[in-house]
């Protein structure tokens, strides 16, 4: 997984030296290409495509890569996993740890995924819908007619809470509050910088900047080890429905389970990979619905099938992560007329595929129906990447976005605070709506169950 622009500036590892041929690409200085990549991804992708075609070379910091929207190449890249391609997640190493799924190479990666996958299956995650409804209701209860509110932070608080309860199974509110505090602190630009560029901040006079994030990381480790130990001892572990409980009882074919270090790294991975991404998708959903009242009306009148199409359309037109994965090549790889050498990373241009008029008719139109009428194939819908590294939490995220939007549409009438849909700007690891999806609450539609109970009691 490569979130936002972070891993794009990573150094290239792997067996460089194979000869091959690189397609042409923009001649902008490397630093300018990084900025374009971060602040104007759509223009960067569309501009390069118009000038050079489906695949072009990009130079981002110290990384040379090719950005491709060639679906045939994407299919081969994803089906060739895990044997010939490697992930592009190195910059996340300090935060998530050496033992995280994100850092593993084949064959360990595949073996770990087999252990982790069962609790993330579509049917299994449906059981979390009730928990999500309760949490979103209590957030929305606080909003009153006339309020103006940025929905991104509301969604972020919600998605973190869902992970702490449904994934980690933390019932102690105090522990949840402490973990929230740590993740909020990680989100400040300075801490994030120190964490993602550890070599730089440790070596230099910037060292002082990096002390706080390291202290936070140590505190996080201690809290998680404590929670894992308590869960191992928990007499009611077999009755628990959270994902950690299932991870604790998972065994590989030799009967071996995950160690405490492996579990700690996976828990941090799930929190880091799962909450801001989902919150950004929800924020885009709110932003797009607020500006499209006809679709808002239709979503209110329709069933779950339409809502599911709506969620997919949100993820298509504004993917929180506009690239569908990065793979470092372990063998030369053919794309069109080019043979990409092993020293180069292939970056899947999810945005480019999602806005290709030969794949999606009128791609800049926000139209959920397209997912009902002509559902795309797996290499044309890439918000969750693909192949061996495809997002583990995709089903959980799809459910959560649907539940939150459904509750919002049921409980509130809302309107946008700006005349047009916001521009995408970097936010943590994602590209999010500028201004945080600010809406005005026009009215409350129905009392929430919680509000109705209180009213009845008075
Ligand atoms: C809308 C929300 C989300 C988006 C857009 C998203 C997107 C992605 C993307 C693009 C990748 C990289 C795939 C690749 O390289 O092929 C990924 C990987 C991953 N995601 Fe998500 N994600 C979301 C939510 C979640 C959630 C809720 C969780 C878990 C609670 C999660 C856990 C992971 C993990 C563990 C990986 C690494 C898989 C591997 O390397 O094997 N994600 N995600």
pLDDT at residue 84 in the model: 56
What interhelical angle do 394-411 and 304-317 show, nearest 10? 110
Counting beta carbons within 10 angstroms of the beta carbon of residue 178, is it exposed (0 to 12), middle (13 to 18) or buried (19 or more)? middle
Q: Is there an atom of ligand 1 within 6 Å of 285 CB?
A: no
Q: Is the CB of 1 under 6 A from ligand 1?
A: yes
In whole angstroms, give the CA distance from residue 365 to residue 355. 10
DSSP per residue, 88-127: --GGGHHHH-TTSGGGPPTTHHHHHHHHHSGGGSHHHHGG
* d(C-alpha 258, C-alpha 239), whole Å: 20
Rounded Cα gap, residues 145 and 66, in angstroms: 49
The pLDDT value given to residue 87: 72
Q: What is the pLDDT of residue 191?
A: 64
pLDDT (tens digit, 9 = 90+) per residue, 217-275? 899 999 999 999 999 999 999 999 999 999 999 999 999 999 999 999 999 999 989 99
Per DSSP, 165 falls in state: I
DSSP 12: P
Residues in contact with 158: Cβ distance below 8 Å, sequence separation at least 6, in sequence order: 135, 136, 139, 279, 282, 404
- Tell which phi-psi region holds residue 87, choosing left (phi > 0), alpha (psi between -120 and 50) or beta: beta
Q: Is the CB of 113 under 6 A from ligand 1?
A: yes
Spatial distance between the Cα atoms of 275 and 327, rounded to a whole number of angstroms = 23
pLDDT category, 297, cuts 50, 70, 90? very high
Per-residue pLDDT tens over the stretch 352-374? 999 999 999 999 999 999 999 98
Query: How confident is residue 18, by pLDDT bands cut at 50, 70 and 90?
Result: very low
- pLDDT digit string, tens, across residues 35-72: 777 778 999 999 999 999 999 999 877 778 999 999 99
Report the C-alpha gap between 311 and 457 in whole angstroms.
37
State the pairing for strand pair 412-416/326-329: unpaired
Residue (of 340, 320, 337) closest to 329 by Cα position? 340
Tens digits of per-residue pLDDT, 145-193?
Answer: 999 999 999 999 999 999 999 999 999 999 999 999 998 888 776 666 6
Ligand 1 pocket test: pick from 102, 167, 312, 393 the residue with the most ligand atoms within 8 Å of its Cβ: 393
Q: Which atom of ligand 1 is nearest to the CA of 78?
A: 16
**65 within ligand 1 shell (Cβ under 6 A):** no
> What was the pLDDT predicted at 452?
46
Atom of ligand 1 minimally distant from the CA of 167: 30
Q: pTM (2 decimals)?
A: 0.91
- The minimum-distance atom of ligand 1 relative to the CA of 388 is 41
Q: Is 345 in the pocket of ligand 1 (CB under 6 A)?
A: no
> What does pLDDT average to over the chain?
87
- Quick check: 163 and 120 in contact, CB under 8 A? no
Nearest atom in ligand 1 to 319's CA: 5
């Amino acid at each position: 997984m490569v979130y936002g622009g972070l891993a794009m500036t990573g150094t290239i590892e792997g067996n460089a030296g194979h000869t091959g041929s690189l397609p042409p690409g923009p001649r902008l200085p490397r630093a300018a290409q990084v900025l374009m990549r971060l602040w104007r991804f759509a223009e960067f992708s569309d501009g390069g495509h118009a000038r050079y075609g489906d695949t072009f070379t990009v130079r981002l910091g110290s990384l040379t890569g090719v950005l491709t929207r060639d679906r045939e190449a994407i299919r081969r890249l994803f089906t060739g996993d895990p044997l010939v391609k490697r992930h592009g997640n190195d910059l996340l190493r300090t935060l998530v740890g050496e033992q995280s799924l994100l850092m593993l190479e084949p064959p360990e990666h595949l073996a770990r995924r087999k252990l982790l996958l069962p609790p993330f299956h579509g049917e299994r995650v449906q059981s979390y819908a009730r928990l999500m409804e309760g949490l979103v209701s209590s957030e929305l209860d606080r909003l009153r007619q006339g309020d103006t509110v940025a929905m991104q932070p509301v969604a972020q608080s919600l998605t973190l809470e869902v992970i702490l309860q449904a994934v980690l199974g933390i019932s102690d509110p105090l522990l949840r509050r402490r973990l929230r505090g740590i993740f909020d602190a990680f989100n400040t630009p300075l801490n994030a910088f120190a964490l993602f560029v550890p070599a730089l901040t440790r070596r230099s006079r910037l060292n002082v900047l990096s002390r706080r994030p390291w202290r936070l990381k140590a505190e996080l480790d201690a809290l998680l080890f404590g929670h894992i130990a308590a869960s191992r001892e928990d007499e009611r572990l077999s009755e628990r429905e959270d994902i950690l409980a299932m991870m604790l009882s998972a065994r590989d074919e030799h009967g071996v389970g995950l160690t405490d270090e492996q579990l700690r790294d996976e828990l941090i991975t799930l929190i880091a990979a799962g909450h801001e991404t989902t919150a950004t998708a929800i924020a885009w959903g709110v932003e797009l619905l607020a500006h499209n009242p006809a679709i808002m009306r239709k979503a209110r009148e329709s069933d779950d099938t339409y809502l599911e199409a709506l969620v997919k359309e949100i993820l298509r037109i504004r993917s929180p992560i506009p690239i569908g994965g990065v793979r470092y090549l372990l063998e030369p790889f053919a794309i069109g007329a080019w043979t990409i050498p092993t020293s180069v990373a292939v970056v899947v241009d999810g945005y480019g595929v999602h806005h290709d008029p030969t794949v999606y008719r009128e791609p800049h139109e926000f139209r959920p129906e397209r997912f009902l009428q002509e559902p795309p194939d797996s290499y044309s819908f890439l918000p969750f990447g693909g192949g061996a590294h495809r997002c583990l939490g995709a089903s959980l995220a799809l459910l959560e976005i649907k539940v939150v939007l459904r509750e919002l549409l049921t409980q509130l009438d809302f309107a946008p605070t700006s005349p047009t849909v916001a521009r995408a700007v970097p936010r943590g690891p994602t590209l999010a709506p500028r201004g945080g999806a600010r809406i005005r609450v026009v009215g409350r539609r129905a009392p929430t169950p919680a509000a109705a109970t209180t009213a009845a009691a008075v």
